[in-house]
């Protein structure tokens, strides 16, 4: 399930990068900067999701596991 969320965020990140470049070409500096920041935040969210899959199942209780569908 986490992998599916990551895939969705990756797609949104790609779309935002395209919007960022379009805003740059239109000389919309403020909008372009905000979209770039959103892209960075999505990257950070994806990194946190990856960290969570590394931790789940390896914690103190070892009662959870990650199953990729």
pTM score of the predicted model: 0.73
Give the integer Cα–Cα distance in Å for 68 and 59: 19
Give the integer Cα–Cα distance in Å for 15 and 39: 9
Q: State the first-to-last Cα distance of the chain, in angstroms, to the nearest integer.
A: 7
User: 17 and 39 in contact (C-beta within 8 Å)?
Assistant: yes
Q: Quick one: pLDDT at residue 56? A: 80
User: 15 and 28 in contact (C-beta within 8 Å)?
Assistant: no
Tens of pLDDT, residues 4-43: 999 999 999 999 999 999 999 999 999 999 999 999 999 9
Domain range list for the chain: 2-52
């Amino acid at each position: 399930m986490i992998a599916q969320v990551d895939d969705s965020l990756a797609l949104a990140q790609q779309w935002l990068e395209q919007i960022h470049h379009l805003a740059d070409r239109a000389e919309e500096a403020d909008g372009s900067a905000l979209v770039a920041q959103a892209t960075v935040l999505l990257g950070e969210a994806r990194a946190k999701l990856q960290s969570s899959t590394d931790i789940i199942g390896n914690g103190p209780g070892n009662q959870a596991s990650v199953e990729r569908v």
